[in-house]
Each structure stands twice: as structure tokens, then as C-alpha cells.
Amino acid sequence: MARLVMKFGGTSVADLDHIRNAARHIKREVDAGHEVAVVVSAMAGTTDQLVAWCEAALKERQTFDAREYDAVVASGEQVTAGLLAIILQDMNVNARSWQGWQLPILTSNAHGSARVLKVDGAELSRRLRDSKEVAVIAGFQGLHKETGRITTLGRGGSDTSAVAVAAAIGADRCDIYTDVDGVYTSDPRVVPHARRLDKIAFEEMLELASLGAKVMQVRSVELGMVHNVRIFVRSSFDRPEDIDPHGNPPGTLICEEEEIVEQQMVTGIAFSRDEAQISIREVEDKPGVAAAIFGPLAEASINVDMIVQNVSADGKTTDLTFTVPAADYQRALDVIVKARSAIGYARLDCATDIAKISVIGIGMRSHAGVAAQAFRALAERAINIRAITTSEIKFSLLIDAAFTELAVRTLHSLYGLDKATP
């Protein structure tokens, strides 16, 4: 007997038929004698619709009250949790739904992207043990204790709810059921030759997720790493009846680095089109300039990602380029324009049609020249690199968005990640 958390994402609970399919996966595990807690997302498209309603509701103001945003968007998961509990009961499975505030899942006060602080798993554990009651928990939402208000964990946050619940009840495994049968070497929608990984280290998954692979929310991987939760990414679209609950189903285990026997140089490639580039031209080359630029951006809570400063040729002026999230682009521009006299620059060159391609692999720690191979391969395809950043287990390249797919596929082949064609 094992204790499992089973998380079902939006496409896996898109309508009643899909919810019924999820229920059959759950029944299979319950019938096999496992103790099961389930975490669900909103039905596919629901959260997008709820967000759009919040935006459309405003007439006079630029931004809405984040507490009310959370009151609206948290509702999607509530519906799925209730429906799944009804369907499970209809299949004679002992089940009960739980809202985030009922457990409770306690979070910070950062409405819209709250952090999980504590999950009380005591009552869940008692019920799992004593009456084998399946808990069906609404993902994505929590409670800020001091204000008593509902919070949400940021887009994709149900992954984090699942891992947090798994840690709280000491689950043997946290199964993430989604619309792909595991974590691939790159997004299989963009790279048809992408290969499923049997295992991936937490650190690599963390990089993949934070650099654009939305298969897992970044914070869920962080939590898994801290609490050493075994996370298994698998497909909800496999027929529940075809799976042996005691066997080895297809999927990807996110685990400690030591568990991975065959370590490749490169594990995966991620990409993101969600950034914008700002280049400040002819900035005076003197102490304090970087502070004059990045200080006001930080004060405006704008996260700066890549930063490249040219070495000044004449000792007087230089160029400074950085990227910000596309959603913050206009605000960042306003900040820089406002700070113009403090910074002192000639002009701004900006681009929003850019993409960041990132190559990730723990093997890079012990191999030199991995990035150099990429520069050569992209040059052969006439793809210009606008900026480069590197760290111990990854490097990222900024290119024109139009070349995203070509660049990702080129690098995927270059590092031998393509699956063998039969």
C-alpha cells in the first residue's frame, strides 16, 4: 500500500467525460489499496475566462484589486473539485471535496502569486488512514490566515498545491497527470522529435520550468526539491484500465541527481517568447549608472533577466541591454524614460518580438565548449544572437522570435536529443 497524491491539470478535467476518466484513474489506485489525495485544476479554459472577465470588468481604473481577482479566479478549481467528488461517489468511491481554506493551505499575502507557507495535513491523513476517504482538493488556491482571504498561487499553481499536499501528508509519490506522458527533452508541440526522459534531476527541472517549459510550475519543483517529494509526470489520456497500479507506467520521475545513472551533457531545451528587450544607447561610462537604471526598475517590482553591458570603446559612453517580462515592458519603458536625466543616455532601442532559447544540463558542469557548439550551429543557419547569459548548468540565447522553432530544433539535433526515427 502506498500513499499517493494524484493531480489532474485543466485538459485532464476539461469536461464531464474527462472528469469521469480522471475518476477511473483514481478508482484504480483506490481499488489497488492505495491511500489517495487528489488535487484538481479548473476545467480547461476556465481560468483564462475568469481572468478575462476581471479585465473586462474595469472601465475607469487601470488595475483591479488583487484580492477580488483571487476571489474570482479561485472559483474554477472549486467547481472541478465538487464535480469530481460527485462522480467518485457515483462510482461508490468514498470521496470528499476540500477548498484550500478548509484544509487549510496557508499562504503569503501576495494575491495573484501567493507562496504556500504551510499545509495542515492532519485531518486528511486521519481520514485516509481511518476511512480510506479520498480527498479531492481544489488546487491553485489557499488562505492568508491573518486576513482570512482566499489567495491564488499564480498560473499553473495547482502543481504547487499538489506537491505541497504531498509533503504535508508524507505521500510516497506525487503523480502529475497531464496531456503529455512525461517531461520531454523539449516541448513536444514544437519539437516533434523530442524524447521523453525517464528521469530528470530537480535542478534541471527547475531550470527547464523557469526558462519556459510550462509542464510544471517552477514553485512546485522548488517545493519538491526542498521536501524531497518524488514527482512523477504522466498522461491522464492513457486508458485507466490499461494501467497496472503496481507496474511501471510511462512517465518521468523528477528526482535527486544521484538517482540518475546515465547523465547526458544536455538534458533539455526550453524557450520563452514572454520577454522584451530594452537597449539603452550611449550611456555615460561611469560608476553609478547601473544603479540609476536598475534601482528604479527594482522599486517598480520589475524583474530584470538578462543584462549585457558593452565595454566602452572610447571610455566615455557604452550600451546597456537587458530583458524584462513582456507583461512589464511598457512599465519598464516608462521607468527608464522618467529616469533619463539621472541615467543620461542618447536613445532607446527596444524589441518585443524576441525569444530566449535555453540549453540545460547538469553535464555542462564537467564539459567545456557546450555553448560554443550552439553559436556555430546557429550562425550556420544565419540566426543572429542578440545576447547571451550562462550559469553552471545552463546557457540562454536571445534571438528574433521568428527563428524560435528553427533554433530550438537545430540545437535539439546538435546535442543528440532527437529520438531515433523507426
Please, what is the end-to-end C-alpha distance for the chain in angstroms? 39
User: DSSP labels for 34-73?
Assistant: -EEEEEEPPPTTHHHHHHHHHHHH-SS-SS--HHHHHHHH
User: Is 8 among the residues that bind ligand ASP (CB under 6 A)?
Assistant: no
| Amino acid code (one letter) for 226 | V
Q: Pick one of Mg ion, ligand ASP, ligand ADP, none as the site partner of residue 172 (Cβ within 5 to 8 A by kind).
A: none
Closest chain position to ligand ADP (CB): 9
Q: Pick one of ligand ASP, ligand ADP, Mg ion, none as the site partner of residue 42 (Cβ within 5 to 8 A by kind).
A: ligand ASP
Which position among 140, 271, 395, 415 is part of the footprint of ligand ASP (CB under 6 A)? Answer: 140
Of 290, 264, 231, 255, nearest to 414 by C-alpha is: 264
Q: Which is nearer to ligand ADP, 21 or 279 (CB)?
A: 21
Q: Which is nearer to ligand ADP, 157 or 296 (CB)?
A: 157
Which position among 3, 11, 32, 264 is part of the footprint of ligand ADP (CB under 6 A)? Answer: 11
x/- string (CB under 6 A) for ligand ASP, residues 92-131?
Answer: ----------------------------------------
Please tell me the chain's helix, strand, coil percentages from 3-state DSSP, rounded to the nearest 5. 40, 25, 35
CB of 320 to Mg ion, least distance (A): 35
User: Is 156 among the residues that bind Mg ion (CB under 5 A)?
Assistant: yes
Q: Are 359 and 370 in contact (CB under 8 A)?
A: yes
How would you label 118-149 residue by residue, b for 16+ Cβ within 10 Å and e otherwise?
A: ebebeebbebbeeeebbbbbbbbbbbbeeeeb
151: left (phi over 0), alpha (psi -120 to 50) or beta: beta
Q: Which is nearer to Mg ion, 36 or 215 (CB)?
A: 215
User: Is 145 among the residues that bind ligand ADP (CB under 6 A)?
Assistant: no
Q: In the window 33-62, what residues touch ligand ADP (CB under 6 A)?
A: 41
Which position among 4, 38, 42, 194 is part of the footprint of ligand ASP (CB under 6 A)? Answer: 42
- CA-based torsion, 7, 11, 13, 19: positive or negative: negative
Cell numbers linked to 388: 547571451
Segment contacting ligand ASP by CB under 6 A, of 40-48, 106-114, 225-233, 322-330: 40-48
Cell numbers linked to 295: 534601482
Q: In the window 243-282, what residues touch ligand ADP (CB under 6 A)?
A: 268
Q: Pick one of ligand ADP, Mg ion, ligand ASP, none as the site partner of residue 135 (Cβ within 5 to 8 A by kind).
A: none
Q: Where are the beta strands (DSSP E) in 67-114?
A: 95-98, 105-107
Q: Which is nearer to ligand ADP, 174 or 180 (CB)?
A: 180
Q: In the window 339-358, what residues touch Mg ion (CB under 5 A)?
A: none
* Radius of gyration of the CA atoms of the chain, in A: 23
How far lies 382's CA from each of 339, 353, 376, 410, in Å?
A: 37, 17, 10, 12
CB of 47 to ligand ASP, least distance (A): 4
User: Is 80 among the residues that bind ligand ASP (CB under 6 A)?
Assistant: no
The span from the CA of 322 to the CA of 252, in Å, is 35
Judged by CB under 6 A, the number of residues near ligand ASP is: 13
CB of 58 to ligand ADP, least distance (A): 27
| Amino acid code (one letter) for 131 | S
Q: Pick one of ligand ADP, ligand ASP, Mg ion, none as the site partner of residue 107 (Cβ within 5 to 8 A by kind).
A: none
3-class DSSP state of 111 = coil
Q: Which is nearer to ligand ASP, 152 or 410 (CB)?
A: 152
Q: Which is nearer to ligand ADP, 70 or 187 (CB)?
A: 187
Cis peptide before 249 (omega within 30 of 0): no
The span from the CA of 43 to the CA of 35, in Å, is 25
Of 184, 99, 68, nearest to 418 by C-alpha is: 184
Segment contacting ligand ADP by CB under 6 A, of 69-77, 87-95, 182-190, 401-409: 182-190
Query: Which residues contribute to the site for ligand ADP (CB under 6 A)?
Result: 9-12, 41, 156, 178-180, 183-184, 186-189, 208, 213-215, 268
Residues binding Mg ion (CB under 5 A):
9, 156
Residues found near ligand ASP in the complex (CB under 6 A): 9-10, 41-42, 47, 76, 139-140, 155-159
